[in-house]
Amino acid sequence: MMSISGGFGVYRRLAQQRAQWSRSLAETLWAHKAMIFNAGYRKVGLLVLPFYLVFELISAVVELLAVAVFPAGLALGVISPEVALVLVACGLGYGAFLTLVSVIAEELAYHRYPSLRDFALLVYAAVAECAGYRQLHAWWRLRGLAAAVLRRGAWAAEPGAEGQGGPAFGVPARGGHVQVR
């Protein structure tokens, strides 16, 4: 969750970072596209890379399409207000539930939060992220995907981030394929 005290500088940096991560993922998946759904790469080719493709890269497109299409369907009368309310409550509630379960499981396993107040703030953040932040994060990821597809500029320089340029989207990695065992 982003800090309010950091102002727009923190927001801008967080947006750039998330877009860069998405761009890097798109470029990496493109460079290794022959591995995706390839049984020769076993778990990496059949599970790991498809997971990243569907749930990390393409999910931003699906999430933002839903955010755009849902209100349009409501405005055009395709979706009734009662059904819309139930869908919003279920969607946000399910997202909050999954995050909340993860937070509770982590606390039970690792006891990282010394006070009940710290844990309560984390629970609040887990619920609040479902309305607003998650959609904003999807927008940042979509910008990163678009930058990779359109081959826009190099990554912004970060302290300690030398050498992150990597191959352009659509350019295969050097050295061919590596067999994963």
- Residue 167 belongs to some domain of the structure: no
The pTM (predicted TM-score) of the whole model is 0.71
The mean pLDDT value for 47-55 works out to 96
CA pair distance 114, 58, nearest whole angstrom: 38
Number of compact structural domains in the chain: 1
- Residue 96 belongs to some domain of the structure: yes
CA 115 distance to own-chain centroid = 30
H or E, element range at 75: helix 59-75
State the residue range of the domain holding 111.
Answer: 10-150
H or E, element range at 28: helix 7-31
pLDDT tens-digit readout, 66-93 = 889 989 999 999 999 999 899 888 988 8
- Residue 73 belongs to some domain of the structure: yes
- Mean per-residue pLDDT over the chain, rounded: 83
CA pair distance 81, 91, nearest whole angstrom: 15
- Residue 109 belongs to some domain of the structure: yes
